[in-house]
């Protein structure tokens, strides 16, 4: 039953994503395209070229182009640097994989360091010699005097 519910939820979430590819909005594309002049996304840029790019995108959306077709046209005009996120293929795949590898490596390093610290702390406790019986009795007496 749970598997069926998960499958239905996945289908429900996939439909808007596919619709977004076929009928994108200007605000979606503005956050995915970079202004070649100021090097910020179109939604943050007020340069003249950004305004012309917004007009071009709006025209292409009205013409029925998909998100990928619009991005392809912008890349043909301005080059790969116009995309806010590099494509997940070829050499650009490294831009996606290296941060994940660094994150995984950092997690492994923190885990190993925590284990080493835990082991060294327990070893340090085992190396502490036991108290002399006279000193232990004196310590117990002093602690009882504080409780009273």
Query: Is the predicted pLDDT of residue 102 greater than 50, yes or no?
Result: yes
Looking at the fold, whether 99 and 77 belong to one and the same domain comes out as no
Q: What is the pLDDT of residue 18?
A: 43
pTM exceeding the 0.85 threshold for the entire prediction: no
Say what the alpha-carbon torsion angle 7, 11, 17, 18 is, to the nearest 10 degrees.
130
Structural domain includes residue 50: yes
Which of 32, 65, 85 finishes a domain?
Answer: 85
Query: Is the predicted pLDDT of residue 114 greater than 50, yes or no?
Result: yes
Burial 17-56 (b: 16+ CB within 10 A, else e): eeeeeeebeeebbbebbbbbeeeebbbebeeeebeebbee
What domain range includes position 49? 22-85
Residue-wise pLDDT tens digits, 81-97: 888 877 677 777 787 78
Which of 85, 104, 130 finishes a domain?
Answer: 85
Structural domain includes residue 43: yes
**pLDDT category, 69, cuts 50, 70, 90?**
very high
Residue-wise pLDDT tens digits, 46-61: 899 989 999 999 999 9
């Amino acid at each position: 039953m749970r598997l069926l519910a998960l499958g239905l939820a996945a289908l429900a979430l996939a439909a808007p994503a596919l619709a977004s590819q076929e009928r994108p909005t200007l605000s979606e594309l503005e956050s995915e395209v970079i202004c070649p002049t100021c090097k910020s996304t179109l939604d943050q840029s007020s340069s003249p070229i950004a305004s012309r790019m917004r007009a071009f995108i709006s025209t292409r959306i009205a013409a029925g182009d998909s998100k990928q077709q619009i991005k392809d046209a912008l890349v043909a005009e301005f080059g790969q640097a116009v995309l806010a996120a590099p494509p997940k293929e070829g050499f650009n795949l490294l831009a996606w994989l290296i941060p994940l590898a660094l994150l995984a490596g950092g997690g492994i390093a923190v885990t190993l360091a925590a284990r080493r610290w835990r082991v060294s702390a327990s070893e340090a406790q085992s190396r502490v010699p036991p108290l002399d019986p006279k000193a232990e009795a004196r310590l117990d007496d002093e602690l009882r005097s504080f409780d009273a």
